[in-house]
Structure formats: C-alpha cells, structure tokens
C-alpha cells in the first residue's frame, strides 16, 4: 500500500486562504446578482409618467409593475428548483441571460404592450436570480455562519430599494427612460463574469426528473393569486365574470398542483416541506410582514405629497429611514445568530417593533412634524429587518440540503404574495374610506377624473383644502392600524418557531430530520 506524506502547514494555510477567497467571491457574486435584479425591480417606478407620455397606454401603465411582480413570483420557485437540480452557477448564468433579454426588450420597446412583455421576461429572470443567489450562500457556508451573510444580502436589497428610484428618476429626467434598462447591460454582464469565476460548477444529479406539469400548474396558481389581489376592485370588479374566471382558475390549478406534486419524482415544490414546522412558520410570518411592508410603502410617499405638501422627488426619500432600519437590524440579526446560534425570539420581538411603528403612523395627520413621521417609519424598518435574515436562515436550516433552493425561493414567493395581497387590500380600504369622507364633505372627487394630486388640492380653497387633507389622513389611519395588527399576528405566529441548532460545519447532502 503506497503512502503519501502529510501536507505541510504551508500547504494547509494556502488551501485555507484559497477556500476563504472562494467563499468571499461567491458572496460577492450573490450580492452583485441581488443588487442588479433589485434595481431592475424598483428603478422604473419614477419613470412611469414619462413612459406614458411617450408610449401612451395610460390604462395599462400598472402592468409595467404588475408584470414584473407576477413573473418574479412565478420565476422564484421554478428557478430555485432548477438550482437544486442543475447547480446554482448554471441557473444563475441562465437567469442573468433571461433578465438582460427582458431589459433589452424594454429598452427597444416601441409600445406599451411590448414594454409590458419585456418587464415580464425581466421579472421571470429577476425573481429566480434573487432566490438562487441567496441559496448559493448555503452551498459555501455552514448554517451558523450564514446569518451575517444573509443579513448583508438583506442590506443589499434594502440599499437597492433606496437607490433604485433615485437612479431611475435621474436617468429618466436627464438621459431618457430607456437608459434605465440600458444600464442593466454592463452591470449584469459584470455580475455574470464575477459569478462565473467564483461559483464552482457541479454536474446535475443523475438523470434529473423535471416536473414540467407541476411548474406550469404552480405558475398558473401564483398568477391567478397575484392577479386576483392586484386587479380586484381596480381593473376588475370583485363580482365580475373575469374575477370569477380567475377564482375558478386558482381553485383548479391549486388542486391539480397538489395532485401532481404528490406523484412527481422531483416535485417543483415538495409538499413534504409543509410538514416542517419552521418552514411553515417562517413563510406565514413572511406573508404577514410582506403585506405590512409593501402595503404601506405605497402610501407613505403619497401621504407626504398630498397631505404634507412635499415635492414628488423628496417624498420618496421618506422611505429611506425604513430601509436604513431594515438594513441595520438585518445585519445585526445575522451577527447575533453567528455569535449565539440562536434566532427563534428575534422575529417575535422585531414584529412587535413593526407593530409599534405602524401604530405610530396610524396617528399622523397634517400637523404631525415630519421628524416624527421619519421616526415612525424608521421604527417600522427596524421591525422588518430581522425577519428577512432570520426567515431565510431558519428555512435553510430546516429543509433537506437538496431542497435549499426551492426552500429559499419559498421565502421570497410568500413575501411577494403577501405584498400583492396587502397592497390591493389596503388600496381598496383607503379608496373606500376616502370616498365616504369626501362624500360627507359634499365632494365626489378631486381634480380631473378624481385624480388625487397635490396640484388638484392646491386648486381648492383654504378651508376646503384643509378638510380634504384631513379626510385623506383619516382614510389612511385604518391602513396603518391593519398593518400594526399584521405585525402582532406575525409575532404570535413566530412564537411557534422551534430553535433548531445552527451547525458550524457544512453538512453533506442528506435529508433533514422531520420536526
């Protein structure tokens, strides 16, 4: 039997340095991909009025946002599963290609319809890229060391949420709205190079069985869900034939999906994951926090513009305190998990803080100092941050390693569903409450076509304007109270999470024990 000399200390040190460099590059690749895709999601919003002015299609403008949200919700679990089957690097490369193809379609779009198609393609790649990038962390770091990295990735997401609208507004104003999509090209290609160099390729599993039918049925289920809550009461009446068709489609697709996943060899979303306590608890918490977060983000800039008289561009900056609180506490939660190996109580207390911030927003009015509004928004962000890093870590620590991709995707998918439901429900609540209050004042609408703008308010007399701004503030109070209730419910659900130890070593691929 031939023996070989043990490696020297110098060789071991060199290997350790190489491993550390590989891990750092992998994290850099994940952060780069996350930043690019998050910018693609948020940067287009400020340019929507300019886009309508050039392409027309005012009645379809909301689809520029909805198409991306819908495609991202569908793409997340599908590409997450593909990452489990074929390796993260190959799927990230393909996802960047899809994302950049969508950006190219948008940049060259001659009409609103083509722009919406491009946004759908872009969202299909972007939604999958976010979850596969976050899942790639589980391939290079053991559970206990993932917390700080997931917190940092949450910080990247929060930073892009602030930078995206500012960059989009600047590009649209000075270079033209198409540059919002053109700038994705060099940044996306740079991210492609970084991840190609940093992530190791791995061969796919032997003869992977792809669940095509399950993917289609899941896509239909998610599409119907998002469309019902995005279009319900807005472009489709709740009792309309179109809404009835969407409801029937949701029921049939969901039933077909459950039957298909039970029989599939490689299910796109294994139903066995729903037997894991922490998987269910983390995603239920994510739905509620997503509803509170996305449902209120819509109204804060509007409140500052219409009620407080802040200009459109600065009004968006009032979301910055929320993102700063989110980024800071997400990072702190990650460090806490790495030092202690514990995470169960973090979302319990943080969602109480979220409820406190939303309760504060439910008391604001025309006379509330802007500094106090900034404080309330910051407190809400502090409450959201730990949930984002803890949920991903808890899910990755609970699911079998061969399903880390689809498990990570579930966190993003349920948060987006919560955001779609929250935004629609809160919008309907606000519109109904404002209509009732304006009717009591003898007004049926404000401005041409009832459009609620600062200019329309300025055209009113001083007394009437004060009455209307007070009515708007009062109509928003139930929205923020409901968001506070969601925070309390999320805290109660988070109490059900179980503290599963975070290991210090990277475990091999093997099923996790049932909880």
CB neighbour list of residue 3: distance below 8 Å, 6 or more residues apart:
none
Give which of 254, 265, 173 is closest to 212, Cα–Cα: 265
Residue 472 burial (CB count, 10 A): 24
How far is Cα 220 from Cα 73, in angstroms, rounded to an integer?
11
Query: What stretches of 441-461 show up as alpha helix (H) in DSSP?
Result: 454-458
pLDDT at 449: 43
Q: Is residue 296 part of a domain?
A: yes
Contact of 366 with 398, CB cutoff 8 Å: no
End-to-end CA distance of the chain: 46
What pLDDT is stored for residue 448 in this prediction?
Answer: 45
For 331, residues 6+ apart whose C-beta sits below 8 A from its C-beta are 148, 151, 152, 154, 155, 385, 389
Sign of CA dihedral 23, 328, 181, 104: positive
For residues 86 and 199, give the distance between their C-alpha atoms in angstroms, rounded to a whole number: 13
pLDDT tens digits, the chain, 515 residues: what are they? Answer: 555 555 555 556 655 666 677 777 777 777 777 777 777 777 776 676 677 777 766 556 667 777 787 788 778 788 877 777 777 778 888 888 899 999 999 999 888 889 889 988 998 888 778 777 777 776 667 766 666 776 677 667 767 766 777 777 778 778 888 888 888 888 788 877 777 776 666 665 556 677 788 888 888 887 888 778 767 666 677 778 888 898 999 999 999 989 998 888 878 888 888 899 999 999 999 999 988 887 677 778 778 877 787 765 666 677 788 888 888 888 888 888 888 888 888 999 999 999 999 999 999 888 889 899 999 999 999 999 888 888 888 888 888 877 777 777 788 778 877 877 777 778 778 877 877 887 777 665 554 444 455 555 666 667 777 777 888 888 888 989 999 999 999 999 999 998 887 765 555 544 444 44
**Is 78 part of a structural domain of the chain?**
yes
Tell me the pTM: 0.74
In this structure, the answer to whether residues 313 and 441 fall within a common structural domain is yes
In this predicted structure, what is the pLDDT of residue 143?
A: 66
Last residue of a domain, one of 155, 179, 200: 200
CA distances from 447 to 49, 305, 457 (A): 17, 15, 8
What is the per-residue pLDDT for 171?
81
H or E element in which residue 33 lies: helix 9-42
Block residue for tokens 């604001």: 364
| Residue-range definition of the domain harbouring residue 168 | 18-200
- Give CA–CA dist 430/474, Å, rounded: 9
Instruction: Specify the pLDDT at position 512.
Output: 41
Domain end point (choices 156, 173, 200):
200
Same domain, yes or no, for 249 and 386?
A: no
Q: Residue 435 domain-assigned? A: yes
C-alpha 82: how far from chain center: 20
Q: Could you tell me the CATH number of the domain that includes residue 113?
A: 1.20.1250.20
Whether residue 386 sits in one domain with residue 304: yes
**Domain for residue 346, yes or no?**
yes
CB-CB contact of 290 with 414 (8 Å): yes
- Picking from 36, 48, 156, the residue whose alpha carbon sits closest to that of residue 102 is 36
What is the SS3 string spanning 78-98? HHHHHHHHHCHHHHHHHHHHH
Based on the number of CB atoms within 10 Å of its own CB, is 62 exposed (0-12), middle (13-18) or buried (19 or more)?
A: middle
Q: Is the same domain home to 248 and 137?
A: no
The label of the residue with tokens 């649209």 reads 172
Domain end call among 200, 221, 242: 200
Does 353 share its domain with 492? Answer: yes
Q: How far apart are CA 425 and CA 364, in angstroms?
A: 21
User: Cα separation of 446 and 237, whole Å?
Assistant: 22
Same domain for 287 and 242: no
DSSP string, 159-174: HHHHHHHHHHHHHHHH
- Residues 215, 173, single domain; the answer is no
Distances (CA, A) of 25 to 20, 76, 191: 9, 23, 11
Same domain assignment for residues 401 and 476: yes
- Helix axis angle, 370-398 relative to 143-174, nearest 10°? 130
Q: Contact at 8 Å (CB) between 162 and 40?
A: no
User: Does residue 13 form part of some domain?
Assistant: no
User: Same domain, yes or no, for 237 and 288?
Assistant: no
Structure tokens at 457: 């308010």
Residue 4 within a domain: no
Same domain, 312 and 436: yes
Q: Are residues 239 and 287 in the same domain?
A: no
Evaluate whether 445 touches 315 at the Cβ level (below 8 Å): no
Residues 437, 309, single domain; the answer is yes
Examine residue 7 and state whether it is found in any structural domain, yes or no.
no
In sequence order, the β-bridge partners of residue 236 are 232
Q: Do residues 93 and 211 lie in contact, with contact meaning Cβ atoms separated by under 8 Å? A: no
Q: Whole-angstrom Cα distance, residue 46 to residue 170?
A: 9
Positive or negative, the CA dihedral 310, 315, 320, 325 is: positive
Residue 1 resides in a domain: no
Count of domains forming the chain: 3
What are the backbone angles phi and psi of residue 369, rounded to the nearest 5°?
Answer: -60, 140
CA distances from 357 to 166, 245, 367 (A): 25, 39, 18
Question: ∠ CA(194), CA(197), CA(202), 5° rounding?
Answer: 120
Backbone angles phi, psi at 402, to 5 degrees: -75, -5
Single out the residue of 318, 327, 424 nearest to residue 384, CA to CA.
327
């Amino acid at each position: 039997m031939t023996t070989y000399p043990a490696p020297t200390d110098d060789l071991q040190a060199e290997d350790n340095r190489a491993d550390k460099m590989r891990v750092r590059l992998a994290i850099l690749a994940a952060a780069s991909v996350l930043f690019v895709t998050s910018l693609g999601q948020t940067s287009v919003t400020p340019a929507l009025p300019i886009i309508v002015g050039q392409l027309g299609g005012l009645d379809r403008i909301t689809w520029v946002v909805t198409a991306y949200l819908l495609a991202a919700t569908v793409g997340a679990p599908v590409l997450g599963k593909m990452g489990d089957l074929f390796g993260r690097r190959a799927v990230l490369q393909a996802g960047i290609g899809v994302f950049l193809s969508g950006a190219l379609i948008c940049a060259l779009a001659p009409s609103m319809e083509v722009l919406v198609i491009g946004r759908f393609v872009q969202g299909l790649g972007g939604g999958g890229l976010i979850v596969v990038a976050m899942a790639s962390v589980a391939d290079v770091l053991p559970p206990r060391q993932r917390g700080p990295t997931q917190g940092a990735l949450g910080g990247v997401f929060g930073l892009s949420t602030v930078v995206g609208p500012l960059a989009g507004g600047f590009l649209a104003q000075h270079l033209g709205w198409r540059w919002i999509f053109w700038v994705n090209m060099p940044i996306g290609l740079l991210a492609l190079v970084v991840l190609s160099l940093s992530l190791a390729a791995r061969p796919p599993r032997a003869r992977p069985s792809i669940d095509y039918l399950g993917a289609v049925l899941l896509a239909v289920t998610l599409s119907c869900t998002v469309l019902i809550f995005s279009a319900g009461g807005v472009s489709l009446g709740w009792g309309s034939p179109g809404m009835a068709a969407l409801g029937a489609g949701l029921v049939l697709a969901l039933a077909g999906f459950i039957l298909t996943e039970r029989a599939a060899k490689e299910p796109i979303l294994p139903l066995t994951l729903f037997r894991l306590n922490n998987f269910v608890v983390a995603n239920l918490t994510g739905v509620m926090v997503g509803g509170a977060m996305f449902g209120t983000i819509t109204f804060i800039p509007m409140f500052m513009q219409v009620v407080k008289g802040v200009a459109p561009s600065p009004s968006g900056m009032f979301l910055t305190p929320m993102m700063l609180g989110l980024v800071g506490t997400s990072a702190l939660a990650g460090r806490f998990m790495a030092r202690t190996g514990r995470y169960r109580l973090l979302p319990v207390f943080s969602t109480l803080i979220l409820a406190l911030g939303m309760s504060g927003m439910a008391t604001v009015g025309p006379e509330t100092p802007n500094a106090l509004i900034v404080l309330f928004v910051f407190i809400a962000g502090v409450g959201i941050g730990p949930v984002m890093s803890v949920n991903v870590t808890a899910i990755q620590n609970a699911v079998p390693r061969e399903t880390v991709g689809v498990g990570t995707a579930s966190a993003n998918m349920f948060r987006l569903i919560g955001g779609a439901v929250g935004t629609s429900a809160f919008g309907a609540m606000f519109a109904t409450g404002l209509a009732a209050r304006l009717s009591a004042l003898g007004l049926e609408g404000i401005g041409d076509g009832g459009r609620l703008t600062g200019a329309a308010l300025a055209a009113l007399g001083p007394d009437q304007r004060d009455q209307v701004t007070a009515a708007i503030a009062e109509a928003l109070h139930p929205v923020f109270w409901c968001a506070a209730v969601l925070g309390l419910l999320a805290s109660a659900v988070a109490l059900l999470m179980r503290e599963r130890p975070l290991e210090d070593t990277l475990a091999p691929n093997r099923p996790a024990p049932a909880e």
